[in-house]
Amino acid sequence: MKVRIGGLRVRRGILGLLAGVISACLSLIAPAAAQDVSAPTGSIRVLREAWSDADERGYSEFIKGLGRANCRTIDQCLKNPANPFARSDPPGSFWRADCADLPYFLRGYYAWKRGLPFSYINAVSPKGSTRDIRYTTRGNDIASRRDILTGSTSGAALLRDLRDTISSAMYRLHPDMEATDLYPTRIDRKSIKPGSVLYDPNGHVAVVYDVESDGRILFMDAHPDNSLTRGTYGRKFVRSSPGMGAGFKNWRPAKLEGAVRTPEGLLVGGRVVFAKNAELADYSVEQYFGNVARTGEDRQWLSGPFVLEGQNVDYYDYVRAMMGGGSLAFEPLAEVRNMIRANCEDIRYRAEAVDLAIQNRIHMKAQPSRLPQNIYGTEGEWEEFSTPSRDARLKASFKELRDQVQRFVEWHAIGDKRVHYQGTNLLTDLLLAYDQEANACVITYLRSNGTPVQLSYEEVRRRMFLLSFDPYHCIERRWGATQPAEAMTCSDDAVKSEWYAAEQYLRNQIDRTYDARMDFSLFDLKQGPGPGRGVDAPPDIDARGYFVTMISQGGIPRPAAPPVIAPGAPTAAKK
């Protein structure tokens, strides 16, 4: 009997040893062969103490695959063949995530499927007083976190809890803080990779899914309506003071300590501890203070320069250069084509969002007596079906294109080596490239009576500041119709018409003011532009008009010296 019991213990010991060997071997498996080790019941099972380099590579490949897949919601993406773990998901699963949830959702999903340790901040507290913890001026502190241990929950329950718990407030942490889920990373191709996280302090979060050879960073982001979109990093992601925690981040290495390994190879109990900033090879605060010696105080952050090849450059140019190999080089024609294609895709994403509001008949409801407390950051019906943030980012992208082409033309005129162009007439070639790409972009919407209206890229650009973000307006106004032949089918009553007119100053605004009180009545909006009520006139976003004007004037005079590029950044979150 003792022999039998001893033999049983030996066999269990051998099984435990084998489980440990298997676990170690799994950490060496190539990312393409990542094995799903989640339990059939969906219960969390932790098999390894820490993420290995192979695990991180596997996660990057997982994110890259989803980003490249033809899916428009997180549910579609996780049911797409690009997800190697889809077959083990609980039957009938339906996955949801908005922009703040998405990075945690994807990281938690992968950890569940691979038996990896996972922990997340589940509460933060504001530094100072605030109306909304997501938009604190000085940032937040960590209040509590939750370790996901073997048997503590199921994978599906974890993802639901993340959806209900995570907000953009969890990203609003000072870059010097320790024990955060994410840390600010160095700006280079080795550090910023698929799976890196991008936080806009105006309340938006995205996940990097690829980096092109020319340095363009591709991201995917989710929205309250459950849509998933893709884009290219640019000036629509603003910089901010360090306390707001904006910018690129990577997942902080974590290790499960104090766990007991069972004979089956499971790690039970323990606690998750995190690597310190000083232990992270790619930890860096250069996004906030520049790539030279750090200034002494946070309030001086904007004075930190970005120096590239001995020259002060704009932050966004610095990012592009470092991600492209270390030097700044633009091929103007390719840049214009890529930016127009990205803008066109954003227009199509907007069309899907507007259609969703129409399908849910939000436009048939009465106009509320007041706007939300803040139109860019709210909840409920307005959050799910309005488009002020989406529209603002679209406007910012069009303005970036307009400003960028002017820089290309001016740099080329002085022989700046940053512009790579082999032709004989840059303005004419840029106009031709612009028209070719713009003409290939057409969207169609259905008027209230069901008749189709086609809008070209240029027509959308001309209407950009007429596009209503208000979900209670008819679809004609959502698409900026003003001519009677198109607008006559709109069923909005006189009150909604007044609201549409009064919201013009808000539509003129390209910056998202999340800290402003905006619960205005119709009477308030009629008082004209002012704090929280918008601006008097929109910025110039007409790139084509710039080309035509310059060509008609015979090009630009050759300046005596290159323009001075300030080391600062866009304005929306400078506090």
CA atoms of 46 and 8, how far apart (whole Å): 25
Q: Give the per-residue pLDDT at 302.
A: 87
CA atoms of 154 and 157, how far apart (whole Å): 5
pLDDT in tens, 428-477: 999 999 999 999 999 999 999 999 999 999 999 999 999 999 999 999 99
What mean pLDDT value characterizes the chain? 89
CA atoms of 191 and 174, how far apart (whole Å): 19
C-beta of residue 132 within 8 angstroms of C-beta of residue 140: no
CA atoms of 165 and 188, how far apart (whole Å): 32
State the distance between the two ends of the chain, measured CA to CA, in whole angstroms: 75
pTM for the structure as a whole = 0.82
Q: Give the per-residue pLDDT at 7.
A: 33
Q: Give the per-residue pLDDT at 377.
A: 82
Residues facing 254 on adjacent strands: 274
Burial class (CB in 10 A: 0-12, 13-18, 19+), 256: buried
Q: Give the per-residue pLDDT at 454.
A: 98
- Vertex 494, ends 490 and 499: CA angle to 5°? 90
Phi-psi label, residue 246: left if phi above 0, alpha if psi -120 to 50, beta otherwise? beta
Other CB atoms within a 10 A radius of the CB of residue 536 amount to 11
Q: Give the per-residue pLDDT at 111.
A: 97
CA atoms of 510 and 392, how far apart (whole Å): 5
Structural tokens at position 34: 């990542």
Radius of gyration of the chain from Cα atoms? 26
DSSP string, 457-510: HHHHHHHGGG----TTS-HHHHTT--SHHHHTT----HHHHHHHHHTHHHHT--
SS3 of the chain: helix, strand, coil, percent, to 5: 40, 15, 45
CA atoms of 82 and 75, how far apart (whole Å): 12
Other CB atoms within a 10 A radius of the CB of residue 293 amount to 8
Q: What is the DSSP letter of 556?
A: -
C-beta of residue 204 within 8 angstroms of C-beta of residue 389: yes
HSE-up of 108 (CA within 13 Å, CB side)?
30
CA atoms of 208 and 196, how far apart (whole Å): 5
At 421, the amino acid letter reads: Y
CA atoms of 259 and 147, how far apart (whole Å): 12
Structural tokens at position 187: 């700006």
Helix (H) or strand (E) holding 50: none
478-to-280, 385, 448, 507, 524 alpha-carbon distances in Å? 47, 12, 11, 11, 22
Nearest to 63 by CA among 160, 214, 247, 197: 197
pLDDT in tens, 27-73: 333 344 467 877 656 689 999 999 999 999 999 999 999 999 999 99
C-beta of residue 214 within 8 angstroms of C-beta of residue 548: no
Q: Give the per-residue pLDDT at 34.
A: 63
Q: Collapsing DSSP states into helix, strand and coil, what is residue 5?
A: helix
pLDDT in tens, 471-515: 999 999 999 999 999 999 999 999 999 999 999 999 999 988 777
Helix (H) or strand (E) holding 119: strand 118-126
Helix (H) or strand (E) holding 153: none
Backbone dihedral angles phi then psi of residue 311, each to the nearest 5 degrees: -125, 135
Q: Give the per-residue pLDDT at 556.
A: 67
296-to-247, 344, 572 alpha-carbon distances in Å? 20, 43, 24
Q: Mind listing the pLDDT tens digit of every residue in the chain (575 residues)? A: 332 223 333 333 433 433 444 444 433 333 444 678 776 566 899 999 999 999 999 999 999 999 999 999 999 999 999 999 999 999 999 999 988 999 999 999 999 999 999 999 999 999 988 888 998 999 999 999 999 999 999 999 999 999 999 999 999 999 999 999 999 999 999 999 999 999 999 889 999 999 999 999 999 999 988 899 999 999 999 999 999 999 999 999 999 999 999 999 999 999 999 999 999 999 999 999 999 888 768 988 988 999 998 889 999 999 999 999 888 889 999 999 999 999 999 999 999 999 999 999 999 999 999 999 999 888 889 989 999 999 999 999 999 999 999 999 999 999 998 999 999 999 999 999 999 999 999 999 999 999 999 999 999 999 999 999 999 999 999 999 999 999 999 999 999 999 999 999 999 999 887 778 899 999 999 999 999 999 999 999 999 999 999 999 987 655 444 444 444 444 444 33
Q: What is the DSSP letter of 520?
A: -
C-beta of residue 447 within 8 angstroms of C-beta of residue 489: yes
C-beta of residue 392 within 8 angstroms of C-beta of residue 374: no
- Vertex 363, ends 362 and 365: CA angle to 5°? 70
362-to-176, 215, 373 alpha-carbon distances in Å? 44, 41, 19
